[in-house]
A = this chain, B = another copy of it.
Amino acid sequence: MTADPAINPAPRAPKPGDGVVISVDAMGGDRGPSVVVAGMAESAARNPEIRFIVHGPQDELSRLIGRRKALAGRCDIRHADDVVTMEDKPSQVLRKGSGTSMWSALESVRGGEATAAVSCGNTGALMAMSMLRLRKLPGVNRPAIACLWPSMNPQGFNIMLDVGADIRADAHDLLQYALMGASYARNGMGLERPRIGLLNVGTEEHKGRAELKQANELIAAATESGQFDYVGFVEGGDLPSSRVDVIVTDGFTGNIALKTGEGTAKLVGTFLKDAFANSIMSKFAALLAMTSLKRLQKRIDPRRVNGGIFLGLNGTVVKSHGSADATGVSAAIKLAFTLAKSGFQDRLAARVAQGAAASFETGESGGVAS
């Protein structure tokens, strides 16, 4: 099934010097490709530097893109018949693999045509495929997914990692998460010297699991080489706090915390709506407070913090929420663009290599276990 060139003139492929190229998997999200293309159009309208390679069924994508003026001449479509569904297990995905839009989106990053990839698809499948095709950065044992968390900090967000790439993490993995998270905060948020905290059940040094005590020492010893400050152990209540910028944890704990936070915010939101719907008086008040309530909603809007970054691979991959709408997709694309533009990938690779060397030296001198 190929496109009719009369109806769908092949868009001009992006070339070097054309700006920043983002590879977009148009399929696999809960709302289908039209929402992804709408998000791309939002980004393109605001950002003259951005270009796309977009992956999925040629005909459908040509049609959707053809309707968006902002995207004219800025997209290169790569045909892919297959879609990774939310129900697919990572093992199945790797078998059917190469015919999918997800695989194709990663290939554009692998081949150097695009600087970063964005997908709304199945997280487990995307991580498994990214590991297979992009491979881990030298020196990284476990890649991580970093998310943004609304916070009291001036930048408005804190970073937490890992939120679900791997359910395990030993002390060295946690050190690497600290280095990668610091690099992300520097390049994605412009924080020159990010403050790192290690998530635990108390802030006292004697608390928590053995790997956390060891990671506590490893991270404390890496502040100079990693150019970050270390605030020590932090608790669940510190995730939105202004005493820390980056929270390091294993993927099991991070995923539970992320979903707990989302669930709590949603619950309070529901209660708030109930409260205002309760009486004529409160409905009137809600009308008066509309602007303020909208500001509040914007501040805690999960769409604004849409985009989990896969860290520790040879290439930048942004995972957008499966249920993201156009605004959410656009936020994920913006994040990919910001990181691509900052040269994040090369800086991260350098940082990890340096950290691995420093950690090795510390280990050699016997300082780690002491």
Contact = CB atoms under 8 A, between A and B. Distances in A.
B279 A209 contact: no
A282 B240 CA distance: 25
B236 A260 contact: yes
A264 B232 CA distance: 21
B259 A235 contact: yes
B282 A259 contact: no
B282 A262 contact: no
Q: Which has the most chain B C-beta neighbours within 10 Å: A206, A285, A296?
A: A285
B252 A278 contact: no
Contact of A257 (B89, B260, B296, B299): B260
A350 interface: no
A289 interface: yes
| Copies of this chain in its oligomeric complex | 2
B252 A237 contact: no
A271 B285 contact: no
A73 interface: no
Contacts of A300: 267-268, 271
A251 B253 CA distance: 11
Nearest to A286: B289
A257 B254 CA distance: 10
Contacts of A164: 201
B253 A275 contact: no
A249 B253 CA distance: 11
A265 B263 contact: no
A276 B261 contact: no
Given A272-B272, A288-B281, A296-B272, A239 B252 contact: no
A293 interface: yes
A-B complex: 3 closest residue pairs judged by Cβ atoms? A236-B259, A285-B289, A285-B288
Interface of A: 89, 150-152, 164, 167, 199, 201, 206, 208-209, 235-241, 249, 251-253, 255-272, 274-276, 278-279, 281-282, 284-289, 291-293, 295-296, 299-300
25 contacts: A150-B267, A152-B267, A167-B208, A201-B252, A235-B256, A235-B259, A236-B261, A236-B262, A236-B263, A239-B260, A239-B264, A249-B256, A253-B256, A267-B300, A268-B268, A268-B269, A271-B300, A272-B272, A274-B296, A275-B289, A275-B299, A278-B291, A281-B288, A282-B289, A285-B285
